[in-house]
Structure 1
C-alpha cells in the first residue's frame, strides 16, 4: 500500500506561505513570532512525515521537543499584537523556555510521562491564550484596526486548536494502550493538519506592532473620570476628522494613542465608556461617514470610496457599512444620492 505523505504536503504549503509572507512585507520585530511559528509548524510536519511515513524511529526523540515549543510560540505571537506595560525580561520571559527543557528531561528520565506532560502543556497554554483576549478585540491594540476582529477570532481558534491537539495526543496514547499503536500513523497525519489552521491564523493576524508604555491612571472620582474621557475623545475626534487620520489604512490603537498623546488603554477605555463601542467600530463609524459622503456627493465608484475612506478589504467595508446603515453601499447611494450630484 502506497503511503501518501500528507505531512509533507502540509510542510510544503507552510513553507510556501512563509516565503510569501517574507516577500510581501518587511519582517518587523512584531512579525517575527508569527514567522517562527509557521517555520516550526513546517519543521514539525516534515518530522512527522519522516517518522510515520518512512519509519525513521530516531525522530521519536525530536517530535515531543518540537511539540513542546509550539504553545509558547503561539502565545508569543499573540502577545506581539498586544500593548505591554513592561518589557518581558528576566524570569518572566525565560519561563516560556521551560517546556522543551522539561520534555528533554522527561525523555531522559521518565519517557512514560511525556504524553501527559504535553497534554497538560497544550491545555494550560490554551487557557492562558484565551485569558490574553478576555477583554475582546481591544486587547489586541497593536493590530491594524481593519483586522483586529479577525485577529481576536484567530486568538480564540488558536486556543481551540491547542485543545484539539491535546485531544489527539490523548487519542494516540490510548491507541498505544489498547491496540499497540495500530492507528497512530493515521491519527498523527490527520492531527498534523492543525499546522494549516495555525498557518491561516498567522496569515490573518500578522501585522507590524510596537509596544508603547501605557500607565493606567488611578481615577477614583467618577466625575473626573468622565471629564477626562470627554477630553480624550475630543482629541481623538479632532485627529480623525480634522487631520483625517481615520483614512489611514495602517492605523492602530497605539498609533492613534501616540498621536493623541494619551496612553492606549486610556483611549480604549474612554471610547468604550462614552460610545459603548470598541475602538475598531468607533474608527469605522468615521470611515463609513466619509464613505457615505463620497457616495452621496460624487460619482466615485463604491470601490474607490472604500479605499478613500480608509478600508482595505471589501468584505470588511460591506460588513461595517451594513452595521452602520443597515444597507449595502450601492443601495444606500440609490436612496441618498444628492440632486446636485445627479446634474
Structure 2
C-alpha cells in the first residue's frame, strides 16, 4: 500500500489555499508576500515528508535553510499591511535574507548550533510580528476595515505558530538528549505540519483583506492629540461618512480614509479611539450597520442585498457586527422595527 505522509496532505491543502488567493486576479500584486509565504510553507511541508516520511537524508541540508527563511517572510508579509513612509529598499531585503544565510553558514561551520539558532530566530520573530499589531486592528492600516479584525487575529495566530514551532524544536532537542532521537520522526511530522498549516491559513486570511492598489500616502506629521483637534477630526470624518457614504467602499482602510480626509492616519485613529472608545474598524462598521438598519426598515430588500449595499462583504462579519451594535440579528431587527 502506498504510504503518503501527513505533511504531503498538508502541502496539498496549502497549494489549494495558494490557488484560492491567486484566483483574485485583481489583487495578485498586493498579495505577493502572502503568496510567497504560503508557497514556502507548502515546499517546507513536502521537505518534511521527504525527510521524516521517506527517510531522504539529503533533505536535511535544505530543511534548516527553508526554516530560516520562514520567520522573516512571515514578518515581511504582515508588514505590508502597515503603511511605511520611509521604505528601506535593498537594506530591508538584506535583513530578511540574513537569517537563512546565517543558517547556511552554520551548516558549513558549526552544524550543532542550528537547532538553537532556529529556536532563537522563531521566538524573536514571533515577538516582532506581535509588535506590528501592538495597538490592535488599527495598527494594520492597509487592511480593509471589512476584514481588519480577522486579519489581526491571523497576525496573532502566525506569531503563535512561530512560538509553537520553536517549542517543538526545543522538545526535539531534548528528545535527542534523552532518547537519541527515537521519537523525532513522529514529533516533527505532526508538529511542523500543524504549524505550517496554521501559517498558511493565517496568510490566506490576511492576504484576502489586502485592498486594491492605490496611490502613495503622503508622510504623516507627528500627531498633536488635543481634545479640540480630536473633535474637529471626528467631525470631518463623520461628514465624509454621511455626505459621501465612504463606508460603502469595500476596499476602505485607514490609509485610504486618511487620503480622502487629508488627515494623517494616526490622528484619525487617535481621535476616534479617544472620543468614541472604538477602533476605526468598529467606527466604520457602526456607520454600515446604521445604513443596514435604515435599509431593513425602509425597503423590502433581502438581508444579503442589504449587507452588500451597506458595505459588508461576508455574512459572518455582517451578522457579528450587527449583533454588536443592535444586540439582535438582522431578521429579528427587521421584525421588531416592523411592529413599532
Fold shared, TM-score > 0.5 on shorter chain: yes
Are the counterparts in 2 of residues 271 and 279 from structure 1 also a CA contact under 8 Å?
Answer: yes
Alignment correspondent of 2:171: 171
1:277 paired with 2:282, answer: no
Runs (4+) of structure 1 exceeding 6 A deviation are none
> Hey, what does 2:245 align to over in structure 1?
244
Report the TM-score when normalising by structure 1. 0.93
Q: How do 1:221-232 and structure 2 match up within 5 A?
A: 225-232=226-233
Q: Tell me, which stretches of 5 or more residues in structure 2 are unaligned? A: none
Calculate the TM-score normalised by the size of structure 2.
0.93
- The number of aligned residues is 335
In structure 2, the residue matched to 1:68 is: 68
In structure 2, C-alpha distance between the alignment counterparts of 1:126 and 1:180, rounded to whole Å: 29
Deviation at 1:24, TM superposition (A): 2.5
Q: Shift of the alpha carbon at 1:214?
A: 4.0
Which residue of structure 1 aligns with residue 319 of structure 2?
318
CA RMSD of aligned residues (A): 1.8
Tell me which residue corresponds to 1:180.
180
C-alpha displacement of 1:332: 1.2
1:161 deviation in Å?
0.7
Instruction: Give deviations 1:11-57, integer Å, cap 9, x for gaps.
Output: 11111221221123334443111000000001101111111122211
Mapped to 2, the partners of 1:265 and 1:85 lie a distance apart of 13
Is 1:253–2:258 an aligned residue pair?
no
In structure 2, the residue matched to 1:287 is: 288
Provide the residue aligned with 2:222 in structure 1: 217
SS in 2 for 1:300: coil
Inter-partner Cα distance in structure 2 for 1:213 and 1:95: 25
CA contact (8 A) 1:216 1:266 kept: no
Q: Which residue of 2 aligns with 1:200?
A: 201
Would the aligned equivalents of 1:214 and 1:265 in 2 still touch at CA under 8 Å?
A: no
Distance 2:250 2:20 in 1: 21
What is the match of residue 37 of structure 1?
Answer: 37
**8 Å CA contact 1:249, 1:311 repeated in 2:** yes
Contact conserved, 1:214 with 1:264, CA < 8 A, in 2? no
Extract unaligned runs of 5+ from structure 1.
Answer: none
Report matched runs for 1:53-132 at 5 Å.
Answer: 53-132=53-132
SS of the residue aligned with 1:168?
helix
Q: Is the 1:136–1:152 contact (alpha carbons within 8 Å) kept by the matching residues of 2?
A: yes
> Structure 1 residues 338 and 289 mapped into 2: Cα distance closer, same or farther (>3 Å)?
farther
Give, in angstroms, the shift of residue 218 of structure 1.
5.2
Contact 1:145–1:252 (Cα < 8 Å) also in 2: yes
1:290 is displaced (CA, Å) by 0.6
Could you tell me how far 1:277 is from its partner in structure 2? 0.6
Contact 1:140-1:152 within 8 A present in 2 as well: yes
Q: Is the 8 A contact 1:51 1:59 kept in 2?
A: yes
